């Protein structure tokens, strides 16, 4: 049975994704409780109720479960067991299984491969000798990635030659890793898909993503790729959601190779940075869609109302104090989003802006012009 406005929703994690979920839910008339260990978390500051505790704290989880009709997560590193125990007392989506697959690069790649989907060639590295034992030199030049808890390019080191491997592995503290072949990319794209409890799916338009130092910098939507390729990416995203028996919002990141082959980079069991454009450019945002799937409502239309370019605002932009926001605000079709984070550290996601235009190239050049003025 659908959960109607007025019922309390819960979210594990208080980052910007949680904050935008809270805002979408509140707009629809659902109060929200946020659980996060950080007392100043972006989502906690706008929530109706805030529980400041660790994600595995039994009494905090019990309080959350007792006061919420349904609970979701904004971040994949929630212990799967916390989701499992919450599911005993209320509706939880996505489920512990999907999150456990997405939070571990080894489980994720194995799941995708078993389902006949292409991932970059890789080897599992659990100790230094695994490199030689698996003839992993074939994967070079490659990227060594910690299997868990990496984000925004953190927990990754490039490995150009076999001689570099021991130092690279030491740099990651000999954690369990995957060594991935470095792929020659034509571009990167992503698809956000929502799947309801009834199995119905809706994909958002494909985003074309540009990264700098492993962090998303610019998303251009619709992606400037062949419509057939975009359709194929959307189909794969639906297939992954179905194979996980997923309920909620999921993002699939792809590498597009020179010959237009699609390789899956990773999946995120939540709304995604590359889907932020949907707040200003689509009939339904990815966060409203998260509310809808969580509450068992029908899915909203993912139709895009305008081409859009989203640019991330990292802490680096604050190097001389607060930026001059007029640079963004004086553009009549630029939408500014700030996450309310107190401290602006380099590389930290502080906000984003989205520029709308009837023409994607115009949106891109105007967005890049604003970015350049801010820098």
Element (H, E) at 92: strand 91-92
Q: Find out whether the peptide bond into 25 is cis, omega within 30 degrees of 0.
A: no
Q: Is 266 annotated as a binding residue?
A: yes
Q: Is 150 annotated as a binding residue?
A: yes
Q: How far is the CB of 72 from ligand ADP (least distance, A)?
A: 20
Residue closer to ligand ADP by CB (options 75, 204) is 75
Q: Is 366 annotated as a binding residue?
A: no
Residue closer to ligand ADP by CB (options 154, 319) is 154
50 three-state secondary structure: strand
Report d(CA 118, CA 254) in Å as an integer.
10
Residues 165 and 171 sit within 8 Å (Cβ to Cβ)? no
Report d(CA 355, CA 33) in Å as an integer.
31
The contact set with ligand ADP (CB under 6 A) reads 120, 143, 145, 150-153, 180, 182-183, 185, 188, 211, 214, 253, 265-266
Residue closer to ligand ADP by CB (options 10, 13) is 13
Residue closer to ligand ADP by CB (options 57, 152) is 152
Q: How far is the CB of 121 from ligand ADP (least distance, A)?
A: 9
Report d(CA 177, CA 149) in Å as an integer.
11
Residue closer to ligand ADP by CB (options 6, 184) is 184
Report d(CA 239, CA 346) in Å as an integer.
37
Q: Is 151 annotated as a binding residue?
A: yes
Report d(CA 6, CA 70) in Å as an integer.
12
Q: Is 181 annotated as a binding residue?
A: no
Q: Is 156 annotated as a binding residue?
A: yes
Report d(CA 120, CA 213) in Å as an integer.
19
Q: How far is the CB of 53 from ligand ADP (least distance, A)?
A: 26
Q: How far is the CB of 268 from ligand ADP (least distance, A)?
A: 8
Report d(CA 100, CA 279) in Å as an integer.
28
Report d(CA 126, CA 308) in Å as an integer.
42
Q: How far is the CB of 179 from ligand ADP (least distance, A)?
A: 10
Q: How far is the CB of 5 from ligand ADP (least distance, A)?
A: 34
Residue with tokens 């009709």: 69
Q: Is 349 annotated as a binding residue?
A: no
Question: Distance of alpha carbon 253 from its chain centroid, rounded?
Answer: 9
Q: Is 153 annotated as a binding residue?
A: yes
Residue closer to ligand ADP by CB (options 253, 288) is 253
Residues 250 and 241 sit within 8 Å (Cβ to Cβ)? yes
Q: Which residues are annotated as a binding site for ATP?
A: 105, 145, 150-156, 188, 211, 265-266
Q: Which residues are annotated as a binding site?
A: 105, 145, 150-156, 188, 211, 265-266
């Amino acid at each position: 049975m659908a959960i109607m406005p007025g019922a309390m929703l819960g979210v594990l994690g208080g980052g910007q994704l949680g904050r935008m979920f809270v805002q979408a839910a509140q707009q629809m008339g659902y109060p929200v409780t946020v659980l996060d260990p950080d007392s100043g978390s972006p989502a906690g500051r706008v929530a109706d109720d805030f529980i400041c505790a660790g994600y595995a704290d039994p009494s905090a989880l019990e309080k959350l479960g007792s006061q919420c009709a349904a609970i979701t997560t904004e971040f994949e590193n929630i212990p799967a067991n916390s989701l499992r125990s919450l599911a005993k007392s209320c509706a939880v989506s996505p489920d512990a299984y999907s999150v456990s697959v997405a939070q571990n690069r080894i489980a994720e790649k194995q799941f995708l491969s078993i389902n006949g989907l292409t991932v970059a060639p890789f080897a599992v590295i659990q100790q230094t000798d695994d490199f030689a034992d698996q003839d992993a030199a074939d994967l070079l030049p490659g990227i060594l990635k910690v299997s868990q808890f990496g984000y925004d390019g953190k927990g990754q080191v490039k490995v150009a030659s076999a001689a570099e491997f021991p130092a690279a592995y030491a740099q990651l503290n000999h954690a369990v890793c995957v060594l991935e072949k470095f792929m020659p990319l034509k571009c990167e794209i992503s698809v956000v898909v929502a799947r309801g409890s009834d199995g119905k799916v809706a994909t958002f338009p494909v985003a074309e993503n540009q990264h700098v130092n492993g962090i998303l910098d610019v998303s251009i939507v619709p992606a400037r790729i062949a419509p057939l390729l975009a359709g194929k990416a959307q189909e794969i995203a639906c297939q992954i959601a179905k194979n996980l028996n997923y309920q909620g919002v999921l993002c699939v990141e792809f590498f597009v190779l020179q010959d237009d082959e699609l390789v899956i980079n990773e999946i995120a069991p939540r709304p995604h940075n590359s889907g932020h454009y949907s707040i200003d450019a689509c009939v339904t945002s990815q966060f409203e869609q998260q509310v809808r799937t969580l509450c068992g409502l029908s899915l909203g239309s993912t139709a895009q109302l305008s081409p859009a370019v989203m640019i991330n605002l990292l802490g680096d932009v604050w190097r001389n104090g607060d930026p001059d926001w007029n640079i963004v605000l004086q553009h009549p079709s630029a939408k500014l989003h700030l996450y309310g984070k107190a401290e602006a550290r380099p590389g930290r996601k502080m906000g984003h802006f989205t520029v709308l235009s009837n023409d994607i190239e115009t949106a891109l050049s105007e967005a890049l012009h604003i970015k350049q003025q801010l820098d």
